[in-house]
Amino acid sequence: MTETTHGRHRSGARTQGGQRWQVGPPRPARLHRHDPRTALAVDAGRLAAALSRRLGAGSGGMIGGRLALALQPRALQRLAVGRRIVMITGTNGKTTTTQMVAEALRSQAPAVSNATGANMLDGHVAALMTGLDAPFAALEVDELHLAQVTERIEPAVAVLLNLSRDQLDRVGEIRTVEASLRRALAQAPRTRVVANRDDPNVVSAAFDHPHVTWVSGGARWKDDAVNCPRCGACLGDGDLPWTCACGLFRPEADWTVTAEGLRGPDGALHPVTLALPGHVNRINAAFALAAALELGCDGEAALERIERVSQASGRYSTVRLDGHPVRLLLAKNPASWLEMLDLVSAHDRPLVLSVNSREADGYDVSWLWDVDFESLRGRTVAVTGDRALDLAVRLRYAGVRCEVAGSVEAAVSASDGEIPDVIANYTAFRDLFARSVRP
């Protein structure tokens, strides 16, 4: 899986003066060992994280980093020295893609990651503290915080997955996020960018950057991408070539996701057999592989590691709730609900939907009316969560039979035979995974 673009081989070999030399993993400069303040911050942060886990207060993925930043405000810069860091952002798919990137990088050398999803500065510091010698890091980052990161460090690679409306009461409109991402990339001119060419909002964010690899997997959710993010002109169908009068246009794809696998910049088709289900995860895998190749990983070894990823922080995992096996699926906005409903449409297994509206979800649940629940007609589903009644009303208007349950455990206890699917939004999913037991 090697191709050459402008003298650079995707397998990690580069050319200079007619000679080929291999890009090896970086060696972190252990400056924190010689910096008493950073060393103290790291030791205190690790202790706080360990206490948090021991007391059952959490994974320590935030408190450790928060304490370290309080003691050393430049902890992120200090801990990033000598490492090659991949930042993964977007509305949907961040956690799964981050897991894939981390595994791909580990095909070459140790890599740390914020696997628990703590995706702001404190979570990044906490992740980097877990492996001070790891030369690589794969870090999920909140869409509105990438600019804060690039003010402090310049990641080796930035992955831009997609943008759609989410948590409007916290994040605001997509144009705000797109402008923030564009500013973040302007602050990192040497970063290699891997971006979604099928999302006009992502195209706009990455369009002016000098180093972009474009990935195409198709656009299923198009309601947030019908207008040009820069001038507002109508773009039409985002899956077709488009050019806007303001100069923005749909770029040519370097990587394309097909039903058979991934077609790379060299035109070769690389078959993919993922442990994770659905076309959306083939797209995530394409981003992960492209990012790994930017850092010199061997393509075949990286893809093999990506294919083995079977869950990411509980997503897609089969667990036991109150003694009953269930498969957990996360959906938190119309775009991700579209993908999960498509996934469960392939079978008639029992289905439970759980929706909360807490701070981490966003209090506004008007997005329920943008989800195509009509695809569930003909089957009966159970609904639960803080906003179960809102969801039941939406399903009634969609013509879907539903039953309101006091809890997911109560809903699945009535199911016989096949393992139920549970689709839950963020805090509902988090609470279920915390209560679950892996079989």
Fold of 4-28+82-307: UDP-N-acetylmuramoyl-L-alanine:D-glutamate ligase (3.40.1190)
Residue 294 has pLDDT above 80, yes or no: yes
Residue 334 has pLDDT above 50, yes or no: yes
Between residues 226 and 88, which one has the greater pLDDT?
Answer: 88
| List 364, 386, 390, 416, catalytic entry | 364
Q: Which residues are annotated as a binding site?
A: 228, 231, 244, 246
* pTM of structure: 0.89
Residue 23 has pLDDT above 50, yes or no: no
Taking the CB of residue 207, how many other CB atoms lie within 10 A of it?
18
Domain with CATH 3.90.190.20 in the chain: 318-435
- CATH class as words, domain 318-435: alpha beta
Q: How far is CA 195 from the centre of its chain?
A: 13
Taking the CB of residue 133, how many other CB atoms lie within 10 A of it?
12
Domain with CATH 3.40.1190.10 in the chain: 4-28+82-307
Question: Is the distance from CB of 145 to CB of 119 less than 8 angstroms?
Answer: yes
Task: State the average pLDDT for the chain.
Answer: 89
Give, rounded to a whole angstrom, the gap between the first and last alpha carbons of the chain: 37
Each residue of 361-380: pLDDT tens digit? 989 899 999 999 999 999 98
Residue 15 has pLDDT above 60, yes or no: no
Residue 22 has pLDDT above 70, yes or no: no
Residue 397 has pLDDT above 60, yes or no: yes
Q: Which residues are annotated as a binding site for Zn(2+)?
A: 228, 231, 244, 246
Question: Is the distance from CB of 255 to CB of 265 less than 8 angstroms?
Answer: yes
**Residue 364 designated active-site:** yes
Residue 20 has pLDDT above 50, yes or no: no
Q: Which of 158, 196, 191 is nearest to 291 (CA)?
A: 158
